[in-house]
Structure 1
Amino acid sequence: MIALTGCTTGAPGAAETEGTDDVTVGFSVYDMQYEFFQSMEEGTRTAVEEAGYEYVLHDQKSDENEMVTGAQALLDQGVDVLVISPFKPDALGPVVAKAQELGVPVIINDIGGGGVPYDAIVISDNEDGGVQAADFIDAQIQANGVASKKVVSITCEPSAVYAARRNVGFVNQIESLGYEVVTELSGNSKAEEAYKIMKDALAKDPDIAGVFACNDPMAVAASNAIKDAGLDPVSGIVTVGFNGDAEALTAIQGGTLSATVAQDPAAMGALTIDLATQALNGEEIDFDNPDEREVYQPITLISTENVADFIE
């Protein structure tokens, strides 16, 4: 389903394209049922409005065929730039090929680029998030007075190549601080799998001191496994997630999760429109990783000290 929203009112200081009138941005979003992508869409739409562009939204609904056919439909409608948060990056080939034939820039937002020649991809600084998680866990373990140097790393599904950087950053940093990763397994981004991983890890190593999970649902599930084992997921085993989801913020405020590393999907959406404007103007984009045309959005660690600032 494609919904058309006209956005014609600009804002003072909004970016302008050089010699380009009636710019239309098409945004094909992963799945609007998820809070993360709702925020991303809001940030994208707001930036489009501020730039004075037209806006067409397409919801992939976590469906590969819908992603391909819907994104191609946006191109058929004559969008001037395509922003896409792909459900299946490996299936982007026909979409990007068609965009190139039409001279339409393609800006990817998160998930992955599938090896296609997109103009730019916006991702959170995932590896730095893992490093921040490791530093926080180390500091909290020391503050808790726990002597153990054993930690757990729960990863997302193997296909989530950018999310994998979170655990890479975490493992590299935590090991450099003298810790041993006694369990590192994929929870496939699913809470129920993370619960089992944590339960089994505790059965094998009851003296685990910390755990980092690739996303918040898995972190909350790991926290529940810790509680079910009669332990404390904050003062006993430092438990940290990633995303900044509402359930994680509630758990931090309630004392059942130590921290989360928060992404900013709204800011990621706004950044894609800045990059779209640059691409339309033929400007050179300043990449954080030029080889992969990556632009990083900073992340923020949220704990009890600042969680109130993030709860609406």
Structure 2
Amino acid sequence: MKPQLGVAAAVAACLFAVAGCASGANTTGSGTSGANGGSSASFVKKDPLILGYSVYDQTDPYFIAYAKGVQARAAERGAKVVISDSKDSAQIQVTGSSQLISRNISALLITPVQPDSLPATISAAHAAKIPVLVGDIGAKGDYDYFVQSNNEAGGAQGAEYLCKKFDDGQPHEVAFIRDDPGHAAGEARGKGFKDGLAKCSNLKLVSEIPGQTIEAAFKAGQDIFAANPNVEAIFGFNSNAVQGAVRAAETSNKKPVIVGFNGDPIELEMIEQGKQEATVAQDPFGQGQALVDAALDLLDGKEPKFTDAASNTLEQPTTLVTKENLADFKAKLNKQ
């Protein structure tokens, strides 16, 4: 239809703007649309009912699980799903989202590569009477729904595990391989971890170094052990940080307690092998399901489930996984 083609062109024109976005764009914003009435969009539930999902990267195990959650719930509720793989590229995502909007979808689900690129896409979708629901990473603009893990509480879970592990009254040194500055989820995890660690008087955070990639985390781990040879525990903000920490420990002949965040398959394998003690696991499959439920609520004129209605946000709990509950956790994943 002509209006939709015009919308697609308008979004595609934002490519140059997206290319100039800062790398620290993963900052959670506040939406004022959808069920809270801030948007002027009047959403249309079309027939056939099709949901478009712009996924971050279809080669990443976390986002593969996310897409499976979207597809499973959509099938349960009689909706079809069209997926656009952004391949970890903001430019590809903008173009792919515009193409989804032009395909007669009823709702746009999106896991943003760069949240700063969302406002233009959201405006284009709203012009086509399509709600926009954001899954993970961060959200900006007049979005209608945002689901993510409770990252701060998850960070606190990691700290609580270490507090119990070293509950002997003796001093122990801890290090933190954190996210690069400016990423909302990583900052929330770090805050939860550091605030939680501060409650344990015998644990001291002696080093905090960024390690976004496995190689960067490996270097961070080496630097940690070189400067603080008595470090007994490392908390990694994601599975890359943990993999780097494990490699650094092996090459430095150290055996620290390593706790991670995400619950990716590689982490579960390292827990089974005894290289990692615990991980704070997210539920990407469940988040994908929540996106679909919220999309259909909005299309039916209902208010979705929120934990913070002011920002149109649902935060989901995380699960601490150790060797003790690993088998049960993996069995649950196998049922998804």
> For the superposition of Structure 1 and Structure 2, which TM-score range results when normalised by the shorter chain?
0.7 to 0.9
Instruction: Please say if 1:290 is aligned against 2:280.
Output: no
Q: Secondary structure at the match of 2:94?
A: helix
Higher relative contact order (CA 8 A, sep 6+): 2
Structure 2 regions of 5+ residues with no counterpart?
1-42
Instruction: Please say if 1:299 is aligned against 2:324.
Output: no
Give me the whole-angstrom Cα distance separating, in 2, the residues matched to 1:158 and 1:239: 22
Counterpart in the other structure of 2:209 = 185
Counterpart in the other structure of 2:54 = 28
CA contact (8 A) 2:173 2:233 kept: yes
Counterpart in the other structure of 2:109 = 83
Instruction: Please say if 1:140 is aligned against 2:165.
Output: yes
Counterpart in the other structure of 1:5 = none
Give me the whole-angstrom Cα distance separating, in 1, the residues matched to 2:235 and 2:45: 49
Give me the whole-angstrom Cα distance separating, in 2, the residues matched to 1:20 and 1:95: 20
Q: 1:19 to 1:38 in 2, by over 3 A?
A: closer
Question: What amino acid is aligned across from residue 175 of structure 1 in structure 2?
Answer: A
Q: How does 1:43-122 map to 2 (within 5 A)?
A: 43-113=69-139, 115-122=140-147
Deviates more, 1:177-186 or 1:121-130: 177-186
Counterpart in the other structure of 2:229 = 206
Q: CA deviation at 1:176?
A: 1.8
RMSD: 1.9
Structure 1 regions of 5+ residues with no counterpart?
1-16
Question: What amino acid is aligned across from residue 292 of structure 1 in structure 2?
Answer: S
Counterpart in the other structure of 2:285 = 266
Give me the whole-angstrom Cα distance separating, in 2, the residues matched to 1:84 and 1:55: 12
Counterpart in the other structure of 1:7 = none
Q: Secondary structure at the match of 1:92?
A: helix
Question: What amino acid is aligned across from residue 282 of structure 1 in structure 2?
Answer: G
Aligned residue pairs, count: 288
How big is each residue's C-alpha offset from its partner over 1:165-203, in whole Å with a ceiling of 9 and x where there is no partner?
11110000101222322111211x211111111211122
Q: Secondary structure at the match of 1:308?
A: helix
Question: What amino acid is aligned across from residue 244 of structure 2 in structure 1?
Answer: A
Instruction: Please say if 1:40 is aligned against 2:59.
Output: no
Instruction: Please say if 1:174 is aligned against 2:200.
Output: no
Give me the whole-angstrom Cα distance separating, in 1, the residues matched to 2:254 and 2:169: 13
CA contact (8 A) 1:96 1:106 kept: yes
CA contact (8 A) 2:144 2:312 kept: yes
Give me the whole-angstrom Cα distance separating, in 2, the residues matched to 1:49 and 1:164: 35
Question: What amino acid is aligned across from residue 179 of structure 2 in structure 1?
Answer: C
Q: TM-score, normalised by structure 2?
A: 0.81
Instruction: Please say if 1:128 is aligned against 2:126.
Output: no
Q: TM-score, normalised by structure 1?
A: 0.87
Deviates more, 1:162-171 or 1:147-156: 147-156
Q: 1:59 to 1:242 in 2, by over 3 A?
A: same
Deviates more, 1:92-101 or 1:158-167: 158-167
Runs of 4+ residues over 4 Å off in structure 1: 17-21
Give me the whole-angstrom Cα distance separating, in 2, the residues matched to 1:158 and 1:289: 25
Q: CA deviation at 1:158?
A: 2.6
